Amino acid sequence: MHPDNNYTIPAGARIGHVHLKVADLQRSLDFYCGLLGFELTTTYGSEAAFISAGGYHHHIGLNIWFSKNGPPAPRQAAGLFHTAILYPTRRDLAVIFRRLREARYPLTGASDHGVSEALYLDDPDQNGVELYWDRPESQWPKKADGSLDMYTRPLDLNSLLEEL
* Chain segment 68-125, per-residue pLDDT in tens: 999 999 989 999 999 999 999 999 999 999 999 999 999 999 999 999 999 999 999 9
Record the pTM: 0.93
Mean pLDDT, the chain, integer: 95
Phi and psi (nearest 5°) for 143?
-80, 170
Are residues 137 and 148 in contact, defined by beta-carbon separation less than 8 angstroms?
no
- For 20, the enclosing helix (H) or strand (E) is strand 18-21
pLDDT digits (tens, 9 = 90+) for 20-72: 999 999 999 999 999 999 999 999 999 999 999 999 999 999 999 999 999 99
Q: Buried b vs exposed e over 135-162: b needs ≥16 C-beta within 10 Å?
A: eeeeeeeeeeeeeeeeeeeebeeeebee
Question: Which residues, 6+ apart, have CB-to-CB distance to 99 below 8 Å?
Answer: 35, 37
Q: How far is CA 102 from the centre of its chain?
A: 20
Domains of the chain: 16-71 (3.10.180.10), 81-164 (3.10.180.10)
